[in-house]
Structure 1
Amino acid sequence: MMDKIILAGFGGQGVMFLGKVLAYAGMGSNLEICWIPSYGPEMRGGTANCSVILSDEEINSPVIDYADCAILLNKPAYDKFASRIKPGGVLVVNTSLAKLDHVRGDIKIIEIPATDVANQIGNANIANMVCLGALLPNLKLIDVEKVAKAMEQLTKQKSELLKINLDAVNEGIAYVCGNNRIVYTLEKDNFTCLLELQNK
């Protein structure tokens, strides 16, 4: 079983961090992983994309021609990568920055105003995590607990940074799962996250 994922947006939108979260979650799930970043020439404000492969068997090629799913954070990313999703795949689009045209009918498209949601939480920079929350229920090989643990590692146990990222993931989950959210607790030197979604 394998999840091939494309992530794309502007430089500065946290595309690479998003890829690292998925890769760390894969490692925490004892999966084979491949994470390949790619930056446009302008870096911040230019294009950025990365590919992540999660697999419970050996990965023969790191190249993704057609992905199982994607998170596209703006219109240029949508224009470039929407055609590279397999039929039956899943596409999460940040509609705050991408008004869709020429919508495909052979894939599941999750339209979420992620930047608007992130602004409501208090930080526009976490739109990437809102989109991750929207994608999570559609991934086969990692769960929300492993993603939360990955974020804990990557934020170096800074509880305020971990909390706002988890809040963003929660809002993304709620957007696609009918107001269901993960339940987590944060304490000094301790972090727990319940695996199942629970109604609040």
Structure 2
Amino acid sequence: MKEEIIIAGFGGQGVLSMGKILAYSGVMQNMEVSWMPSYGPEMRGGTANVTVVLSDQRISSPMLQVFDTAILLNQQSLDKFEPKVKAGGVLLYDSNGITRHPERDDINIYRIDATEEASRLKNSKIMNMIVLGAYLKIKPLVELENVLKGLKKSLPERHHHMLPINEKAVLRGMELVREVSPV
């Protein structure tokens, strides 16, 4: 098993954190893991993406040109990475701010209204956990228990009071994800 993932969006959307939590979760399941962030000089509002590879074999390189899964949180990321999803792969996107929806018919496309749900719950900081929950529903490669451990490891201790709401956000994402077009 090898899963090659790109997570992309604006800085401040929790893109890198989501990738780090997935990577920690894989480590806790004795997987080989690669986590490679990429971001511009801006802290918030600039583009950010992270490549995560989870595998039961050695990973030869974290540098990827195509992906099994793309988790895309803005239009620029959708435009850039939709063509780079392998045929038969998965594209998961947050609908907020999307003006052109995915168009490919050779991949499985899923939609999550994570920004809208985080706003409804009056906590924009959990949007990325809603998206992560959606991904885990689609591809349960790592166990929820390990995701929660990864979340605890990646959150600074001063934010550990947020662990229960983040867990609820992951579970809510699992409920909300919708398949748009199956291959």
Q: Same fold (TM over 0.5)?
A: yes
Farther-moved stretch of structure 1 (148-157 vs 81-90): 148-157
Structure 1 position 156, deviation (Å): 4.5
Give 1 or 2: higher helix fraction. Answer: 2
Structure 1 position 78, deviation (Å): 0.7
Farther-moved stretch of structure 1 (12-21 vs 163-172): 163-172
Q: Give the number of the structure whose alpha-carbon radius of gyration is greater.
A: 1
Aligned-CA RMSD value: 1.6
Report SS of the residue matched to 2:101.
coil
| Contact residue 3 and residue 140 of structure 1 kept, 8 A | no
| Contact residue 11 and residue 47 of structure 1 kept, 8 A | yes
Partner of 2:56: 56
Give 1 or 2: higher strand fraction. Answer: 1
Report SS of the residue matched to 1:53.
strand
Report SS of the residue matched to 1:91.
strand
Is residue 169 of structure 1 aligned with residue 170 of structure 2?
yes
Partner of 2:181: none
Report SS of the residue matched to 2:69.
strand
Partner of 2:35: 35
Inter-partner Cα distance in structure 1 for 2:99 and 2:167: 26
| Contact residue 73 and residue 128 of structure 1 kept, 8 A | no
The code of the aligned residue for 2:166 comes to N
Which aligned pairs between 1:79-94 and structure 2 lie closer than 5 A? 79-94=79-94
Partner of 1:129: 129
Which aligned pairs between 1:1-200 and structure 2 lie closer than 5 A? 1-101=1-101, 103-139=103-139, 141-156=141-156, 158-176=159-177
The code of the aligned residue for 1:35 comes to W
The code of the aligned residue for 1:175 comes to L
Report SS of the residue matched to 1:83.
helix
Structure 1 position 82, deviation (Å): 1.1
Inter-partner Cα distance in structure 2 for 1:94 and 1:50: 16
| Contact residue 102 and residue 109 of structure 2 kept, 8 A | no
Structure showing greater relative contact order (alpha-carbon pairs closer than 8 Å, 6 or more residues apart):
2
Structure 1 position 2, deviation (Å): 0.5
Report SS of the residue matched to 1:12.
coil
Where do 5+ consecutive residues of structure 1 fail to align?
Answer: 178-200
Superposed CA offset, 1:76-107 (max 9, x none): 11111111111111111010222333511111
What is the TM-score with the length of structure 2 in the denominator?
A: 0.90
| Contact residue 11 and residue 46 of structure 2 kept, 8 A | yes
State the number of aligned residues: 177
